Amino acid sequence: MRIAVTGPESTGKSWLSRQLALHYRTSYVPEYAREYVDGLNRPYRREDIVAIAREQVRREDEAATLAETYLFCDTDLIVSKIWEQYKYRSCDPWILQQIEAGRYDLYLLCQVDLPWEPDPQREYPHKRAFFFQWFQRELAEYGFPYRIISGRKEERLQNAIRAIDAFFNPPTQ
């Protein structure tokens, strides 16, 4: 089962993805965009977003063959779609096709209730609520199953674990 950990910048996605993989003793796929942008000797461009998305998908597919139970993905292609639409007013058709294919069984949408942590790759500290609403709209419009995850550190982790367990193992009546 693939679980995408998604949401705006500085909402604890990377930490949560790693912690969930440890908790469930399974694999996670880090966000490739970070590695890619760190390796650039220039500002990123529109074509970089598609290159990042393609490599992210390739890494997820590769990791899925090794995952025991869940595969936690520290991003998803809705991030690419939102970013490209916000910066360039449209989105590459390949990204849209991949999203519509429904690559994930569950999305964990991280709430913007954590303090902003500055980072050279982060761009919009004052627009996190705006982006959170956009993520929520996208997930709802696609009809993808998602749960909003809030809380700080351990509380956030426990909220995510409860959401996953309830989604994949609902109580029987």
46-91 confidence digits (pLDDT tens): 999 999 999 999 999 999 999 989 999 999 999 999 999 999 999 9
Class of domain 2-167: alpha beta
Indicate if the pLDDT at residue 173 is higher than 70.
Answer: no
Range 103-112 average pLDDT: 97
Task: State the pTM of this model.
Answer: 0.95
Range 124-139 average pLDDT: 95
134-168 confidence digits (pLDDT tens): 999 999 999 999 999 999 999 999 999 999 999 99
What percentage of the chain exceeds 70 in pLDDT? 99
Burial (0-12, 13-18, 19+ Cβ within 10 Å), 41:
exposed
